[in-house]
């Protein structure tokens, strides 16, 4: 395979993937439109069925009229024969024969209409059942899609909240460490300041019991009890 063929195949592949992605992203919209189209076709089918049924009824009405006319002409033939009017009986019998041919044709048409109507009714009923089931499936898919979106939103919110809490805890830890370091620096500075003064040395001597400290309350009372002079 040449390089151009490979490039063309790659472009076709990307186009196909992009098309599938678009279809998937708009699947519910496409399904809704297809169901609306199916409903529109079903209305047309029902209109066509009504038209066929009307034509069948018209043919059946004509057939009924022709059969009634046949009965009427048969009565005329019998009446003509009763009067020994062979010519008239023969003429009316010819009309009856003509009617019988039309009746046979119309009988066949009515039978064909009945078969077609039954077939159309069955097809329409099956199609309507499929559309109803499809609508139920679409409703379920829509409900599930809302649940999934709500779950995703909740999960994203929870993840974001956890991330924010974790970030806040990290900031708090850093703040505590920084405060501890600052306090340690202050304590160290104070210690260094004391070590550079006499006061620090005297404190160390008094702590060791080597330097006199200030007078205690008992010392002051003993001194004041001694008589003057």
- Percent of the chain at pLDDT exceeding 90: 38
Residue 154 CA, chain-centre distance (Å), reads: 17
Closest Cα to residue 74, out of 102, 55, 95, 43?
95
- CA pair distance 191, 184, nearest whole angstrom: 11
**DSSP state, residue 227:** P
* Predicted confidence (pLDDT) per residue in 124-153, tens digit: 999 999 989 988 888 888 888 888 888 877
Going 30 to 36 to 37 to 42, the CA torsion angle's sign is positive
How far the first Cα of the chain sits from its last, in Å, is 130
Q: Which residue has the tokens 């340690």?
A: 184
pLDDT tens digits along 67-114: 999 999 999 999 999 999 999 999 999 999 999 999 999 999 999 999
Q: Is the confidence at residue 115, as pLDDT, over 90?
A: yes
| Res 106: pLDDT | 94
Torsion on CA atoms 47, 48, 54, 57, rounded to nearest 10:
-140
Reading the block at residue 31, the tokens are 């399904």
């Amino acid at each position: 395979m040449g390089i151009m063929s490979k490039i063309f195949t790659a472009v076709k592949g990307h186009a196909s993937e992009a098309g599938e992605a678009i279809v998937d992203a708009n699947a519910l919209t496409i399904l809704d439109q297809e169901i609306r189209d199916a409903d529109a076709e079903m209305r047309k089918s029902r209109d066509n069925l009504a038209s066929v049924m009307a034509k069948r009824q018209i043919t059946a009405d004509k057939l009924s009229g022709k059969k009634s006319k046949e009965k009427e002409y048969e009565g005329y033939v019998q009446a003509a024969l009763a009067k020994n009017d062979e010519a008239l009986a023969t003429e009316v019998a010819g009309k009856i024969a003509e009617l019988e041919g039309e009746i046979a044709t119309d009988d066949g048409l009515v039978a064909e209409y009945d078969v077609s109507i039954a077939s159309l009714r069955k097809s329409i009923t099956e199609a309507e059942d499929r559309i109803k089931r499809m609508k139920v499936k679409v409703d379920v898919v829509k409900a599930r899609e809302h649940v999934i979106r709500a779950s995703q939103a909740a999960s994203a919110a929870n993840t974001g909240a956890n991330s924010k809490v974790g970030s806040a805890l990290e900031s708090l830890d850093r703040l505590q460490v920084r405060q501890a370091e600052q306090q340690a620096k202050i304590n160290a500075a104070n210690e260094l300041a004391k070590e550079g003064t006499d006061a620090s040395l005297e404190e160390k001597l008094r702590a060791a019991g080597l330097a006199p400290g200030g007078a205690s309350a008992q010392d002051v009372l003993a001194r004041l009890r001694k008589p003057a002079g």
